[in-house]
């Protein structure tokens, strides 16, 4: 029996006892007796998650004034009472949603900020599409305070009128698009609604039975909102850091550029398949920030990923030349095969989280 | 010292001891000694939240096929590698995001589902705009398993193309609109960006300093998606109920219609300022479901709320005539004044949550 299992069993018993609302003396006597008995006894499958606090906030954004539009009469609820809605006025736009979980037993030296990829939200790090605990729970259970956000115009951050505020149209993805582009399916035409007919990459770790659920996590996105997103992330860093920033895919450029803007606040960068780099002219700004880049399988056979990975490694070499340091984990090179672009959802997601956890500990960021 | 405070202190000590990673025998000896000492000793300001599990999922939705559009070349990240995106194909639409928190010490007899109002998301029930714990934490701390969702096309549920999938345009609200319409400000022109210049209803309980933050919680909405929203809520009820459903504002009609569709699954309805009713033709379907309706202040002086409230009370009388039962709490009538439409955000939000908690307990739904 390990220490965590004892904590679990004691806590279960304590809550069970307290829920009985016996007299306090009896309750405590029971707890003491049973906790004592645990030395010789049982454990539980999964320890509870004990939080000091949890909550959310929005950060950043700006106000935009819209003029010259006609007043509308809107019935918000069918059968309801119509209300006049004047679309002219001041709008709140480009704010960002952040949800946080602070463990009672903090072991991460700093908060861990999780930034998702394009067309997705913070849901990326929650339960995996096939129902296992995601990286949010993994790192929370390890004792990290986790701040999980939805980038500007994604999810709970809301989005703004176009072309009035955003200058381009939103981008929607078909169900088959990520299947092919995220190195899950074996090329063009590999997607099929019927899981048994999907053509997966040989040895794929993506939980194919959860693919349909994964597509439900998708949200529209713009490709012209990077500056607004970076502004909001910088405000987040100013509010809750020093911290560790863990990014995925699209937020690769966000994480590295924000760290370049706040090199004193970002104490480590974990780049999970970054799709973009930092600003090469400011490479030296990252010289004091340890960086880990993690890549999955099937990179070489992909039409885009050799270039994307190559650009990142070139950038990291510039950081190194300026006095920085970085580590790259190419999972297949250490014998871990089959990972898609969605590493945090793959069947071996906990194993990869463990590699990141170990790297963070080696940077002295774990108590 | 009460039982909850003892649980808090014991848990704090236990996690502190475990984090020291002393030998297990020493750890347990410390826990036993210190837990014993608590009988005579200290408590903590706020007990930790101990969760058996937490996570999220998407539910419902359907697939829509789009054809006849040109292929685009998209550079997802500036400086990245362009990808061809074919907008023709199958899209996932109208799914719903649900986040759940299951307490270790369950005392609610059934799960509590929280459904938000129009132009908002599940963030409604999280931290209040002025930074206090919201109703999600309140009921979770009381021992309810809470399922907090974003309605279809809101927040993390994502949204679909219009007019291709949704038949109308989205509706955006100015910063001043809810200020006047949600009975926070004292009528037309009462909003001001400068909090000191806002004209609040006399005695308003809304935390004016958090109003700006509240507007950041707003998301666009459609007025033509009710059927899709109801379909998704029914799927949620089929998945996680029997349960209690707590609604606010727009979801008044959703909650009552879904309960009419699943009268065996919804065991109680808490209606917080419902903006719409159930189907009068099916009023009898609610006869076995205890219903509580809660209204804030300033109803009578509002141009719309006397009608909205009157419609609901008329509907509830039809439920009663069919053998049902309901309670109405008009807060001012029991001496609680100043509540806006956003009762769960008002400064006395915990007090109102307490009234709901007591009502639920009286229905035999609390252990």
- The string of pLDDT tens digits covering residues A266-322 is 999 999 999 999 999 999 999 999 999 999 999 999 999 999 999 999 999 999 999
Pick from A55, A175, A311: which is nearest to B127 by CB?
A55
In which band, very low, low, confident or very high, does the pLDDT at A75 lie, cut at 50, 70 and 90?
confident
How close is the nearest chain B Cα to the Cα of A125, in Å? 10
**Measured between CB atoms, does B13 come within 8 Å of chain A?**
no
Q: What is the pLDDT of residues A206-251, one digit of tens each?
A: 999 999 999 999 999 999 999 999 999 999 999 999 999 999 999 9
Interface of A with B in 23-82 (CB under 8 A): 24-25, 27-28, 31-32, 35-36, 38-39, 46, 48-58, 61, 63, 66, 74-81
Q: What is the reported pLDDT for A45?
A: 57
A84: tokens are 């006049």
Q: What is the reported pLDDT for B45?
A: 57
Pick from B12, B156, B218: which is nearest to A104 by CB?
B12
Q: What is the pLDDT of residues A9-43, one digit of tens each?
A: 333 333 333 344 444 444 444 444 443 333 333 33
How close is the nearest chain A Cα to the Cα of B258, in Å? 15
CA dist., res. A219 & res. A232, Å (int): 19
Quick check: B215 and A92 CB within 8 A?
A: yes
CA dist., res. B78 & res. B91, Å (int): 26
**Measured between CB atoms, does A322 come within 8 Å of chain B?**
no
Strand A291-295 versus strand A326-330 pairing type: parallel
Instruction: Look at residue B95 and give its three-state secondary structure.
Output: coil
If you measure CA to CA, which chain A residue comes closest to B19? A105
Q: What is the reported pLDDT for A207?
A: 98
State yes or no: pLDDT of B6 exceeds 70: no
DSSP annotation string for B185-225: BSSTT---SSGGG--BPTT--S-GGGHHHHHHT---B-SS-
State yes or no: pLDDT of B217 exceeds 80: yes
Name every chain A residue with its beta carbon within 8 A of the beta carbon of B90.
Answer: 174-176, 193
- Give Rg (Cα) of chain B: 23
Cα angle A57, A170, B226; round to 5: 70
**ipTM of the complex as predicted:** 0.89
Asked which of A78-87, A166-175, B2-11, B67-76 is least confident by mean pLDDT, the reply is B2-11
Q: What is the mean pLDDT of residues B287-299?
A: 98
Name every chain B residue with its beta carbon within 8 A of the beta carbon of A307.
Answer: 81
Name every chain A residue with its beta carbon within 8 A of the beta carbon of B176.
Answer: 89-90
Whether the CB-CB separation of A233 and A256 falls below 8 Å is answered with no
Tell me the whole-structure pTM to 2 decimals.
0.89
Distance of CA B159 to the CA centre of its chain: 19
Kindly tell me the sign of the dihedral angle through the C-alpha atoms of A177, A182, A188, A191: negative
How close is the nearest chain B Cα to the Cα of A184, in Å? 16
Q: What is the reported pLDDT for A46?
A: 84
Nearest to A115 by CA among A137, A92, A97, A129: A97
Q: What is the reported pLDDT for B80?
A: 76
CA dist., res. B366 & res. A191, Å (int): 47
Pick from A27, A51, A137: which is nearest to B49 by CB?
A51
Q: What is the pLDDT of residues B303-314, one digit of tens each?
A: 999 999 999 999
Quick check: A14 and B16 CB within 8 A?
A: no
Whether the CB-CB separation of B105 and A12 falls below 8 Å is answered with no
Per DSSP, B347 falls in state: T
Asked which of A76-80, A139-143, A148-152 is least confident by mean pLDDT, the reply is A76-80
State the average pLDDT for chain B: 89
In which band, very low, low, confident or very high, does the pLDDT at B255 lie, cut at 50, 70 and 90?
very high
Quick check: B219 and A250 CB within 8 A?
A: no
Per DSSP, B287 falls in state: T
- Residue with token string 């490709």: A223
CA dist., res. A185 & res. A193, Å (int): 12
Quick check: A216 and B158 CB within 8 A?
A: yes
Whether the CB-CB separation of A252 and A226 falls below 8 Å is answered with no
Residue A329: phi, psi to the nearest 5? -110, 110
B/e letters for A200-233, b = 16+ CB within 10 Å, e = fewer, are bbeebbbbbebbbbbbbbbbbbbbebbebbbbbb
Kindly tell me the sign of the dihedral angle through the C-alpha atoms of B18, B22, B28, B29: negative
Integer distance in angstroms from the first to the last C-alpha of chain B?
A: 21
Per DSSP, A159 falls in state: -
């Amino acid at each position: 029996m390990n220490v965590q299992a004892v904590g679990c069993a004691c806590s279960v018993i304590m809550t069970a006892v307290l829920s009985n609302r016996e007299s306090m003396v009896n309750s405590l006597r029971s707890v003491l007796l049973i906790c004592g008995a645990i030395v010789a006894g049982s454990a539980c499958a999964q320890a509870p998650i004990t939080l000091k606090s949890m909550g959310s906030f929005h950060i950043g954004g700006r106000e935009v004034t819209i003029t010259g539009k006609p007043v509308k009469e809107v019935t918000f609820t069918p059968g309801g009472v119509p209300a006049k809605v004047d679309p002219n006025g001041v709008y709140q736009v480009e704010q960002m949603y952040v949800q946080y979980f602070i463990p009672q037993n903090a072991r991460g030296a700093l908060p861990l900020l999780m930034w998702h990829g394009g067309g997705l939200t913070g849901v990326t790090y929650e339960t995996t599409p096939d129902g296992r605990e995601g990286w949010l729970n993994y790192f929370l259970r390890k004792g990290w305070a986790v701040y999980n956000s939805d980038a500007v115009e994604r999810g709970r951050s809301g989005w703004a009128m176009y072309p009035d505020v955003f200058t381009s149209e939103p981008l929607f993805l078909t169900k088959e698009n990520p299947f092919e582009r995220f190195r899950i399916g074996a090329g063009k035409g590999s997607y099929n609604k019927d899981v048994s007919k999907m053509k997966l990459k040989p040895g794929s770790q993506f939980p194919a039975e959860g693919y349909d659920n994964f597509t439900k996590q998708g949200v529209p996105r713009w490709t012209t909102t990077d500056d607004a997103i970076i502004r909001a992330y910088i405000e987040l860093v100013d509010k809750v850091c020093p911290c560790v920033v863990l990014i995925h895919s699209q937020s690769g450029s966000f994480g590295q550029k924000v760290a370049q803007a706040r090199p004193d606040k970002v104490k480590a960068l974990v780049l999970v398949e970054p799709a973009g780099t930092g600003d090469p002219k400011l490479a030296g700004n990252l010289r004091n920030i340890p960086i880990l880049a993690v890549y999955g399988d099937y990179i070489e056979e992909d039409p885009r990923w050799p270039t994307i990975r190559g650009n990142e490694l070139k950038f990291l070499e510039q950081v190194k030349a300026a006095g920085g340091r970085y580590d790259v984990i190419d999972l297949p090179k250490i014998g871990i095969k089959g990972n898609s672009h969605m590493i945090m959802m793959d069947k071996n997601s906990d194993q990869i989280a463990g590699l990141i956890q170990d790297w963070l500990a080696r940077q002295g960021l774990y108590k």
